[in-house]
Structure 1
């Protein structure tokens, strides 16, 4: 009895594999493309230049503030239009939902710490990956601070949620 082969030609096999890969990872691929585009645009706008950040905080050159203001206005228009036309998410097909978060007590202190970190490092969290992409090695220290700060926030939230005790935090 002759065994039947189910192999497709090489070109057809590569084509099907590529299609299935793109379908399975479409949200990751879309995110990568959008992130690279965002980083490129931030770089072109000067948002990845340490001097522009320092000059903005010293009120010497307001170019970066103009970029941020323009981004805020465009985002406001975009959110308004998405709410009006009930836009669906590209990857999930579900309607984009805008849930207003309640005020939290530590919001003001957190915003203050964020501003201090931004002023000290001359980079905000959104610009750090773009700075690394440009080869600015000093951004590694900012990224490390961001990751440690995020971890500290998680540990503190866990501590507060367990009434100041870690004994209950690790129970199954």
Structure 2
């Protein structure tokens, strides 16, 4: 049978579909969504109930682990991710956009932490004292810094020495 124009058109349309059907789970790129905290969600580092404390929270999704690791605040997230002993591959990291979330009881408004802007050194305190206020939009971070003080940084600008956790327990009156 000689291929007709119709056969060639069908083959051309089917080729991209065949490539999609051939994807394996290991090769497919699934979009990972953040998990919302609830009254029972705890910090993986110290067991604190996240809902009981102010300031931005974070969640780290590791390769090969279904539930995320929750952090009390963004300083803890940076300390975890930047620690020299951190070798687990990370799938995604989410923080809360504090231009939209209530500082005292933050819920929702999660975004990709690596794309964010952070204000360090402000007067606002998180669950463990000083923290990095997280923002999805640079203008919101600058507005926050103008009101509460601090310096605006990109994710990659925060260094391990800037995420020291040693003072947190001495500053937390609720622990």
TM range (shorter): under 0.3
Q: TM-score, normalised by structure 2?
A: 0.25
Structure holding more helix per residue: 1
Q: TM-score, normalised by structure 1?
A: 0.25
Structure holding more strand per residue: 2
Q: Rg bigger for which structure? A: 1
